[in-house]
A and B are shown apart, each in its own frame.
Chain A
Amino acid sequence: MSDRWKIALLLAPAVLVITCLFLGGLALGFARSLNYMPLIGLNDINLNAYVSILSSSGFYKSLLLTTYISFTSTLVSCVLAIGAAMILRRSFIGKPIASFLFQVNLTVPHLVGAIGILYLFSQSGFFARLAYEFELISRPADFPAMVFDPAAIGIILQYVWKEVPFIGVILLANMQTIGADYEAAARSLGANRWQSFRFVLLPLILPGLLSASMIVFAFTFGAYEIPALLGQNFPSSLPVLAYDTFTDVDLTARPEAMALAMIIALASALLIAGYVKLARRHVRQ
């Protein structure tokens, strides 16, 4: 048996499961988004759900909010993760402790982190009370709104807290493999610290950075629980909107929920494709 066949056979179980679950789910969702739900008597295939969503101003507000949350969370996480990885790749006293603390929240679930944000940053939270105790504000309600706020600060904070170590660990491994010699070569050729980072290290870590940030972007774009816990009611993020529609008592709203899910998947894919293209073009020039 040729190596090609061996590899194909070895991969087959995993590929089959992923394909069936992913493509099967996607196909089922797509069929329902086209108003095909025979169980509840919807057999007339049409695009009404999509038309209804795309003609609603609330949808665009949710899309904008979701894109803003994902983009900001990913960008801030990437910047902080790069900085952290650049520090942690050096040798210094206390590095093992610093590395441990940096990675420790990887094991903490998102929900726990969200509750932490709620307790710390809400207007009745720890920092609001602390500010009140120190008479920085006259009442806890004067504390700047960081949870359930239009700027989604609490959501972004939670994502950044969780995703910085995720991206950082990938980048750190990446940087350790690359070593310091490429940058040394660049410095000796006349590049200053910034140029050596911009034109050498960044392009070298780009594949790892893109992979990690794509995962973060896709996750934050499609995640439900954090915006549901820490976000405002209107506009809500797209996944919250989709879930609310899905759990509507009116079962005929299901095609709209599925259409929203399809749009989330499509928008996420398109935004990631655009992001990758832009990043490749700008970083490697």
Chain B
Amino acid sequence: MTNVVLENLTKTYGQADVAAVDNISLTLKSGALTAILGPSGCGKSTILKMIAGLLAPEAGDIKFDGRSVLNQKPEQRNAVMMFQDHLLFPYMTVAENIGFGLKMQRQSKTEIQTRVGELMELVQLQDLGSRKPDALSGGQQQRVALARALVVKPKILLLDEPLSNLDAHLRIEMRDLIKRLQQEMKITTLFVTHDQEEAVILAEEIALVIDGRLRQSGSAPVFFERPKDETVTRFFGGCNFVDGVARDGHFICPLATFALPADCRTGKGRLTFRPENIRLNADLSAENSFSAILISKTYLGTQTRLHLAAAGIEFEALTNPGEAHNLIDGAELPVQLPKNSLWVLG
């Protein structure tokens, strides 16, 4: 298990004015799975490539177990990267692909055969060793890529959007496999994704990167319950923002005066509350309750999104389709914002 520390990591491509990775500092817990989450082009893959040694940072340091690895070549770091496009060598069989790293280490043929066999069993590809990659499905190819990365017992496993090319059911299968293997092998793993749900399900820690900068890091609930700013809130599906003033444990705004959790900031700010936390048909005399008008509703399959308004402020709530079925546009609804679901942004 290896502890990885990124210190003020910066990378600019060519003559670009804007840094692809801008002063990022992050600690990856030893043996844990950390996700770098962010939209496309935000610099996530660049961070992975710098850790793998495939790109050199302009500034900053990368430390494995307290030692800088900047002077080490990619092959000396044992930080194995698994790419979005599998990148299996098309002229090699599945077994040869998996054994590639061991061959580069000049391991004996017997050792390679044994390790490849073990890994093929681990990723459930026992019978496909002699096939070429183009004779495999996308999911199987990704499992071969995972086995190829794991066979060299990497210090750090770097996964670059490994699920994004898979269809829905294969995604879930592969996601579970990655999680199971990572937990069994306890390899420090960094997983890059643009999919918030994937990050939340897989990672113990999440680092949200937007425009090359680290916006917030922590465990998944922090991003939902204690987001740092509006951008982070919006990235995680937050859409309700009301301006007002927080004072003496309350938030005073045109909607109502709301009781706040103890750790909220005071002064001018923006109240945020997640649409799924809004309680409908609440008792109007209960704390943090008020009356709202239903403007419209949108059926989403497993949920229904309600567009509500009160005191000239529009906001959204999510409810189950059964509950929303009988609601008519223009109806007055008593709603409640539970105290612990509120958060004030600066």
Seen from chain A, the residues whose Cβ lies within 8 Å of a Cβ on chain B are: 91, 181-182, 184-192, 195, 199-200, 203-204, 206, 284
Chain B positions 46-89 with a Cβ under 8 Å from a chain A Cβ: 49, 52-54, 73-75, 78-81, 83, 85, 87, 89
Q: Are the C-beta atoms of B54 and A188 separated by less than 8 Å?
A: yes
Contact of B100 among A91, A184, A186 (CB under 8 A): A186
Q: Are the C-beta atoms of B83 and A185 separated by less than 8 Å?
A: yes
Decide yes or no whether B214 CB sits under 8 A from chain A.
no
Contact of A189 among B14, B73, B85, B148 (CB under 8 A): B148
Cβ contacts A to B, 17 pairs, < 8 Å:
A181-B87, A182-B89, A186-B100, A187-B73, A187-B75, A188-B53, A188-B74, A188-B79, A188-B80, A189-B148, A190-B104, A191-B104, A199-B89, A199-B104, A203-B91, A204-B91, A284-B91
**Cα separation A182 to B54 with both chains bound (whole Å):** 12
Chain B nearest CB: distance from A211 CB in Å? 16
Q: Are the C-beta atoms of A187 and B89 separated by less than 8 Å?
A: no
Known contacts A181-B83, A188-B54; 20 additional CB pairs below 8 A are: A181-B87, A184-B54, A184-B81, A184-B83, A185-B81, A185-B87, A186-B89, A187-B73, A187-B74, A188-B53, A188-B79, A188-B80, A189-B148, A190-B104, A191-B104, A192-B104, A199-B89, A199-B103, A203-B91, A206-B91
With known contacts A189-B149, A190-B101, A190-B152, A184–B75 Cβ distance under 8 A: no
Which residues of A are found within 8 Å of B49, using beta-carbon distances?
Answer: 184
What are the 4 A-B residue pairs with the smallest beta carbon separation, nearest first? A189-B101, A187-B74, A188-B81, A190-B104
Q: Are the C-beta atoms of B100 and A182 separated by less than 8 Å?
A: no
Chain A nearest CB: distance from B156 CB in Å? 10
Decide yes or no whether B105 CB sits under 8 A from chain A.
yes
Chain B nearest CB: distance from A221 CB in Å? 28
Size bin of chain B's contact surface: 20 to 34
Which residues of B are found within 8 Å of A203, using beta-carbon distances?
Answer: 89, 91
CB-based nearest A residue for B52: A188
Q: Are the C-beta atoms of B81 and A199 separated by less than 8 Å?
A: no
Which residues of A are found within 8 Å of B90, using beta-carbon distances?
Answer: 204
**Cα separation A206 to B90 with both chains bound (whole Å):** 12
Binary A-proximity of B123-152 (CB < 8 A = 1, otherwise 0): 000000000000000000000000011001
Q: Are the C-beta atoms of B149 and A182 separated by less than 8 Å?
A: no
**Cα separation A195 to B89 with both chains bound (whole Å):** 14
Q: Are the C-beta atoms of B100 and A189 separated by less than 8 Å?
A: yes
Contact of A187 among B54, B83, B92, B149 (CB under 8 A): B54
Which residues of A are found within 8 Å of B79, using beta-carbon distances?
Answer: 188
With known contacts A182-B89, A187-B74, A189-B148, A195–B104 Cβ distance under 8 A: yes
**Cα separation A195 to B74 with both chains bound (whole Å):** 13
With known contacts A184-B49, A199-B100, A189–B83 Cβ distance under 8 A: no
Chain B nearest CB: distance from A80 CB in Å? 24
With known contacts A184-B49, A184-B54, A184-B81, A190–B105 Cβ distance under 8 A: yes
**Cα separation A260 to B132 with both chains bound (whole Å):** 44
Which residues of A are found within 8 Å of B73, using beta-carbon distances?
Answer: 187, 192
Which residues of B are found within 8 Å of A182, using beta-carbon distances?
Answer: 87, 89
Chain B nearest CB: distance from A102 CB in Å? 22
Chain B positions 80-122 with a Cβ under 8 Å from a chain A Cβ: 80-81, 83, 85, 87, 89-92, 100-101, 103-105
**Cα separation A191 to B92 with both chains bound (whole Å):** 16
Chain A nearest CB: distance from B154 CB in Å? 9
**Cα separation A189 to B148 with both chains bound (whole Å):** 8
**Cα separation A182 to B83 with both chains bound (whole Å):** 9
**Cα separation A188 to B87 with both chains bound (whole Å):** 12
Chain B nearest CB: distance from A173 CB in Å? 18
CB-based nearest A residue for B87: A185
Chain B nearest CB: distance from A182 CB in Å? 6
Which residues of B are found within 8 Å of A184, using beta-carbon distances?
Answer: 49, 52, 54, 74, 81, 83
**Cα separation A200 to B92 with both chains bound (whole Å):** 10
Which residues of A are found within 8 Å of B78, using beta-carbon distances?
Answer: 190
Chain B nearest CB: distance from A8 CB in Å? 27
Q: Are the C-beta atoms of B75 and A190 separated by less than 8 Å?
A: yes
Residue from B49, B53, B87, B103 with most neighbouring chain A CB atoms (10 Å): B87
Which residues of B are found within 8 Å of A181, using beta-carbon distances?
Answer: 83, 85, 87
**Cα separation A284 to B282 with both chains bound (whole Å):** 70
Residue from A186, A187, A188, A203 with most neighbouring chain B CB atoms (10 Å): A188
